Amino acid sequence: MRIIVQKFGGTSVGDEEARLKARDRVISAKKQGFDPVVVVSAMGRRPGPYATDSLLDLVRSKGLPMDARGLDLLASCGEVISCVVMAGYLKAAGYEAVPLTGAQAGIRTDAQFGDASIQGINTARLLDVLASGQIPVVAGFQGVTDDGEITTLGRGGSDTTATALGVALRAECVEIYTDVEGVMTVDPKIVPEARLISAITYFEVEELANNGAKVVHPRAVHIAQQGGIPVRVRSTFAESEGTFITDDVARRVITGIAHVDGLARIEAVYPNPAEPSRARVAILKAISTIGINVDFINVTPRAILFTVKDEFAKAVEEALRSEGFACHVMAECAKVSVVGAGMQEVPGVMARVVEALHRAGVHIMQTVDSEITISCLIDQASVAQAVRALYDEFDLGAPGM
């Protein structure tokens, strides 16, 4: 068998025209001799009636009490509807298709409702369906616990379903169909002439996704990497090869740029600089107690600096003040990151980042770096200038990536 997983996102199954295009992608894979396993997201986006957020609004917007288990049961319906409908389109075109929920497709998860992790996949039923020449159409974003509870895999989780199935079935490739051409060197909303990246390593896509590029879910990429299954991100609507994700790519110094807006930078000051250790522990404990995630953490001899999403700044400020810590909050910050698997071997990359931002008049508040990523915290109003400056500095418009 030549298994290929084809995953269609919400906009790729959002209306009649899109569903016909998606259907044709599956039929064309079948005609090329592949055995497609189709994975679908819920149809459309809010306010579309079957989108995940619209379903959740049925209880959330009315303030109806519901536990996480109930919300997952509700959210899972979007993909269930979608898989039946897409199977219908394939049947109408003369192909035998079998709609399956995540549970019916053998996807077992833990019981972390709202953000469950896949524990294993029993592929027996899928392999049966494939062996009989039929096309399984699997509801993405969901699974089942050993106790039979329906769970969801976290927002954007259909990508995870796709790569996890790809690994479990040893697919030749996982195709992620979406409404953009693939992974771009930079956000086209900022740089309209942004170019498509034709090939990129898993680690780079994961870093770009973790730092704000929205095209594919980082957890899905991680699973594909671990299983050694190549992924292709491509458009349902445009004729393009899209972006091929594999480890077999020449390393570039900088491959792409990503950014995250809507951050608040918080500086929590120690009351007594002569006694920093106790203050550090108390500050970080106070934030973890209210369950808020911090990023860009910088521990200095007189204060701790970090970022949270803007919407959490108030809660953090209150928690720290009530523990007796003075803090300074700077709202509307953004994180701009350059990612490249080849930067490790090359001296002077940081110097170029800093110089490019300096030339563009962008003030850097903090930086953080890992093996293949350099991130700068800046004022949100400067994001466009910063991204453009880095794009020019690292020649991300040049052909041949």
**43 vs 19: CA distance, rounded Å:** 9
Q: How many other CB atoms are there within 10 angstroms of residue 234's CB atom?
A: 21
Residue (141 or 202) nearer to ligand ASP, CB:
141
Least distance between Mg ion and beta carbon 10 (Å): 6
Which residues lie near ligand ASP (CB under 6 A)?
9-10, 41-42, 52, 78, 140-141, 155-159
Task: Identify which of residues 100 and 279 has a Cβ nearer to ligand ASP in the complex.
Answer: 100
DSSP assignment, residue 78?
H
Q: Which helix (H) or strand (E) holds 319?
A: helix 313-322
157 binds, among ligand ASP, Mg ion, none (CB under 5 to 8 A by kind): ligand ASP
- Closest to 247 in 3D by CA, of 372, 140, 400, 117: 372
Phi, psi (deg, nearest 5) at residue 153: -100, 15
- Quote the least distance from Cβ 146 to ligand ASP, whole Å: 23
Query: Using CB distances below 5 to 8 A depending on partner kind, what does residue 42 bind out of ligand ASP, Mg ion, none?
Result: ligand ASP
For Mg ion, the closer CB: 220 or 334: 220
Question: Looking at beta carbons only, is 78 or 143 nearer to ligand ASP?
Answer: 78
Q: Which does 106 bind (CB under 5 to 8 A by kind): ligand ASP, Mg ion, none?
A: none
Q: Least distance to ligand ASP from the beta carbon of 8, Å?
A: 10
Peptide bond preceding 188: is omega within 30 degrees of 0, i.e. cis? Answer: no
Note whether 156 binds Mg ion by CB under 5 A.
yes
CB of 311 to ligand ASP, least distance (A): 19
Q: In angstroms, give the least distance from the CB of 256 to ligand ASP.
A: 22
Calculate the alpha carbon distances from 390 to 77, 261, 367, 387, 397 in Å: 43, 17, 15, 5, 11
CA Rg value for the chain: 23
What angle do the packed helices 16-31 and 68-92 form, to 10 degrees? 70
| Contact between 9 and Mg ion per CB under 5 A | yes
Interacting residue ranges for Mg ion, rule: CB under 5 A? 9, 156
